[in-house]
Amino acid sequence: MAERREHKDEANRVLKRWDCEDMRVLTYSTTGLRAESDFMLWRISYSMECLSTAHSDFMKTALGGYLECSHSFLGMTKRSQYMIGQEHESPQAMRSYIKAGGSKYLAVYPFTKTREWYLRPFEERQRVVTEQIKTAGEFPRIRMNTIYSIGIDDNEFVIALETDHLEDLVDMAMHLREIENSLHILRDTPRFTCLSTPIEVMLERLG
């Protein structure tokens, strides 16, 4: 038990050290929610070098020797090419920055559209996207963040949905599957539903 405590304390110190001016580290528990995962780290930084070094430092801890990374998603913020109205009216998903944290639940998943989608005229795609934005806007208790992965990871986007109301995630997904945009989704799994958890609690839930 003493050894476990030392391992958790060391990991706690490393994670807190990297939650700094150069990087924001948000911690989530997935214990009991996914078979292949017990926690998730959302790291936000302007530097790829910081992301890599922070991960290396964490894995060098004694606890890191017992960990295996089951999934990793990488992306960058970018302003959408589609017209989405005035900036102050736009959903978070379409902005060129992200505002993460502060909600009880997080659902995160990679997202890739079909090649056929990009062969359609831009005006037609704009119409479909406008419908999607309108539908998502019916759920104001969900904050949506979108990052671009195309060119630097296996998927085109990563979607992160934050809310204090888990039922809204279910209802929004049911509505979005009924609109035209859903016909052009190639892949939107795996999906991770996470509980926002302080670092110490996240580590304690590991056992």
| Each residue's pLDDT tens digit, 146-158 | 999 999 999 999 9
Rounded mean pLDDT of 143-147?
Answer: 93
User: What ranges in 19-121 are assigned the alpha helix state H?
Assistant: 48-59, 115-119
What is the 8-class DSSP label of residue 21?
A: S
- Are 126 and 134 in contact, with CB atoms under 8 Å apart? no
| Residue 13, both tokens | 């110190």
Range(s) within the chain of domains with CATH label 3.30.70.1030: 87-189
Q: Which pLDDT belongs to residue 83?
A: 74
* Cβ count within 10 A of residue 52: 11
| Each residue's pLDDT tens digit, 38-49 | 999 999 999 999
What CATH class does 87-189 carry?
A: alpha beta
Report the SS3 class of residue 190: coil
Rounded mean pLDDT of 114-125?
Answer: 97
Residue 110 pLDDT more than 90? yes
Give which of 21, 58, 63 is closest to 41, Cα–Cα: 58
Residue % of the chain over a pLDDT of 70: 93
| Each residue's pLDDT tens digit, 77-103 | 988 888 765 444 445 444 456 789 999
- Are 103 and 163 in contact, with CB atoms under 8 Å apart? yes
